[in-house]
Each structure stands twice: as structure tokens, then as C-alpha cells.
Copies of this chain bind each other. A is one copy, B any other.
Amino acid sequence: MNRMPVAERREQLVEAALTVASRDGIEAATVRAVAAEAGVSLGVVHYCFQDKDELLRAMAHAITERNTVRGLEDLPQGLPPATAIEYAIEAVWASISGTRGSQLLSYELTTASLRSAELNKVAMEQYEGQWAAATQVLEAIGHAADVSWSMDAEEIARIVVAVVDGYSLAWLVDGDAEKALRGLHGLGGYLATLTVPRDGAAATEPATDPALAAPAADPAGAA
């Protein structure tokens, strides 16, 4: 095969590992399968990585970064908060539902990390990445809709990540994207109640209608 410097070869192997593992599961990502996917002979993998675990760590790092970088900087400005939130939720969901294999692989990596000493930090890095990304999205929403949040953004981020995780998992199992998206819009409605106009005062529409906390979760809203 083509010769190339180790650094480049490593990237190629990580890409191949990602392809195999997303398609067939983390268990299928054997050294041989990755080498074959990259069109490279067996020994190359151990020339580029000391361990199989080092390869897996590199793969985990890559997928975490890839899920994180979606910084959602392209939020239209000047929208009302509820609209900005809905927009962000649609974008997040699109990037999840379009990458089923990767999502499933993420969960596989999480559980593998929690069992294996060598993959120790992988799961924590994944979550820190997700919390940071969610915080960033919240701040982008605040900026786009000119609101701030009535709680620490990082604290809200934890809520967002937990709920998104929960619905993603359910969707992976039952394949019902519509229900998942409806649930996420429910989260959006809740988030809207946590916004505060930038110049201070009270929450946007505090006591008008508590059902606003979950408009899309209302059967009438989507059915």
C-alpha cells in the first residue's frame, strides 16, 4: 500500500475503526477488521498504536470531538426565545437522527469505558464534551434571542444532556423518531420557562400558562 507518515496513517486507521465500529458495533472493531477496512496489513496497526486500546481511545476521542464541534454558531439572530430554542432542538435532533451508528457506538464506548481500566477516562471525556457543547448551545440561544438563563447554564446543560440522552436511547431502541422529537420539544417548552430578558425584570411569560412547559408533549399539539 501507499506509504505515509505515521501521523497520517493513524488518522486513517482511526477513520477506519470509526467506520467499522459504527457499522458493526464496537466488538466488531478488531485489529484485523480495522486493518482490512483501511486496506492495510495487520502489522501496521501495531506499528501506529501500541495497543488496541490506544486505537480505541483515539477513536473515542475522535467521535467525541466530532459530536462536540457542532457548535451551532449559525443560529439566526433576533428570534423570540421559544423559537430559537425550537430551532436549536431541531438542529441537535437532526445531527443525532442522521447518525444512528455513531450514536449507538457512543453508548457502546460509554459502557466499555465504565468496565475497562484502560478506557477509564473515555466516558467522562464524552460527557464533559457533551456538557460543554450543551452549555455552548444555551449561550448561543441566549445571544440569538437576547435572553439570559435563570439558572447556571452549566446546570441547565446537565438537564439537556440527560433528557437528550434518554430520548436518543429510546429512539435507538424503538426507532420512533417522531415521538423522540416530540419529547425534545417538550424539553424545549420547559427551557423556555427558564429564560429571562437580557435587561432583567422577570421571566418571559412566567405565569400565563403552565402548559407551555410542554406544548409539544401535549397530544393535541402533534396528533
Contact = CB atoms under 8 A, between A and B. Distances in A.
Given A165-B169, A193-B213, 16 more contacts: A25-B115, A27-B27, A104-B114, A111-B111, A123-B173, A127-B170, A158-B170, A159-B217, A161-B166, A162-B166, A163-B166, A164-B166, A165-B166, A166-B166, A169-B169, A193-B210
Contacts of A114: 104, 172-173
Which range holds the interface residue count of chain A?
Answer: 35 or more
A201 to B, nearest CB: 15
A5 to B, nearest CB: 34
B161 A170 contact: yes
A219 B108 CA distance: 33
A199 B164 CA distance: 35
A148 interface: no
A92 interface: no
The A interface is mostly helix, strand or loop, or mixed, namely helix
A130 to B, nearest CB: 9
Given A203-B210, A210-B210, A217-B151, A159 B174 contact: no
A87 interface: no
A214 B211 CA distance: 14
Contacts of A208: 207
Contact of A219 (B115, B155, B167, B193): B155
